[in-house]
Amino acid sequence: MKLRMIGIDHSRASVEVRERYAFTNAATRAVMQTGMQTLNNMSGIRGGVLLSTCNRMELYVSLSPEAEPDLYALICDWKGILPGAERALFYEKKDLEAARHLFELTCGLRSQIMGEDQILTQVKDALLLAREETATDHCLEVLFRQAITTAKEIKSSIRFDHGNCSAATAVIMHLQKRGAVFSGKKALVIGNGMMGKLTAQALMEAGAQVTVTVRQYHSGTVDIPEGAQRINYGERYEKLADADYVFSATASPNLTITPDRLSGIALDGKTFVDLAVPRDIDPAVGDLPGVRLLCMDDLDIEQLSEEQKKQTERAQEKISEALAEFERFFYGRDLIPRIGRFADEMADDLWGRMKKDCAGLDDSQRRHVEQAAKRSSSKVTAHILFALRDGLDADTFAHCMQVLEKDRS
């Protein structure tokens, strides 16, 4: 069994590139339903989890030992893109390196906003979706569960400075540093998913009067943050005319704001913020007179403070401890049956040496001694081998097993 991952994120690619490889929830589900099932039969891929957020797209797969699929070509096929020079923007990692990447990602160490909470929920959702479509396998289940558990432990014990905030909060802080005022201003939030709700809440905490759009068929059932107003999505342009700030954060592949629909609306001084990938707001909106258009790529990413570096080091220590546990599982899972077989062989060997000493026993006594001797010998041998497995690095223990098995052959 092998573990592989491939990804592209904000540190290597612009939003224009990232959106070409982004998957909506519906597209992710479709891939898990059909793409992975086909690959299970063709390429030695035993399981997969696809994670797609505003800042990254990552695919994790478990493979049979002989499999070497081209994961970049696979993603291009799913997206209907011809593989090309953008391959260089992707990163690929193997086995424990891939596992560490997921551990660091899930606790927020690889986020644009260090320590942010939203990525943990996104990783959990990606696992759940893959699980619902039976696309995961035991290896990926263990990996993702341990990454999620470790992230929760880190977040409960380490409070990152300026961390644990949403992308919307980061954008608001970015604007405030440049003189923007939200108190008493009117803001329109397009989208009522997780990101939309976080955005509405952050704007209200900054003092803005917030209106949230909901789809008409959801208008009677969708919860919005307390204190916000709601309008139907189809009424967004009418409300936009009265807004100082327009934030769009949907999971839709379609544009929510286009320049042609803004004709006749006074735009001077309005700020549009696009928090989605693929983008919600047509980039041409930013070319209109008097308009300011921002996306996540426009944020200022400050260097880590000394305190943040210490917090990161503490988080890395906890990740290393958790990764050691996953390593024992990852490299030991194929050895467990071999340990069991070797322990049983040693039990048979012990009984073979004891037979002469038990010659004076009757049949019932001899069977009782044989069973007790084999059971005890097997348990003691297995206990010793598992202790060695936990105390040695994976390569050394594998070599030890080879030597012991060769001696028995």
Joined tokens for residue 299: 């944020």
Cβ neighbourhood burial of 288 (10 Å; 0-12, 13-18, 19+): middle
Tell me if 251 sits within 8 A of 276, measured CB to CB.
yes
Cα separation, 247 vs 280, whole angstroms: 10
Distances from the Cα of 365 to the Cα of 291, 350, 352, 353, 356, angstroms? 93, 17, 16, 17, 14
C-alpha 129/C-alpha 133 separation (Å) is: 6
Task: Report which residue type is found at 102.
Answer: L
Conformation bin of residue 338: beta by default, left when phi > 0, alpha when psi is -120 to 50: alpha
In terms of C-beta density within 10 A (0-12 exposed, 13-18 middle, 19 or more buried), how is residue 328 classed? middle
**Distance between CA atoms of 118 and 99, rounded to whole angstroms?**
20
Residue with tokens 């014990």: 157
H-helix or E-strand spanning residue 278: none
Determine which one of 54, 76, 165, 295 is catalytic: 54
List, as one string, the DSSP characters of 74-115: HHHHHHT----GGGGG-EEEEHHHHHHHHHHHHTTTTSSSTT
Q: How far is CA 224 from CA 56, 120, 194, in A?
A: 27, 22, 10
Q: By CB neighbour count within 10 A (0-12 exposed, 13-18 middle, 19+ buried), where does 31 fall?
A: buried
DSSP code of residue 257: B
Other Cβ atoms less than 10 A from the Cβ of 206: the count is: 21
Q: Which has the closest alpha carbon to 282: 229, 319, 246?
A: 246
Active site residue 295: no
Q: Are 294 and 272 within 8 A, CB to CB? A: yes
Residue with tokens 């037979």: 355
Residues identified as active-site: 54
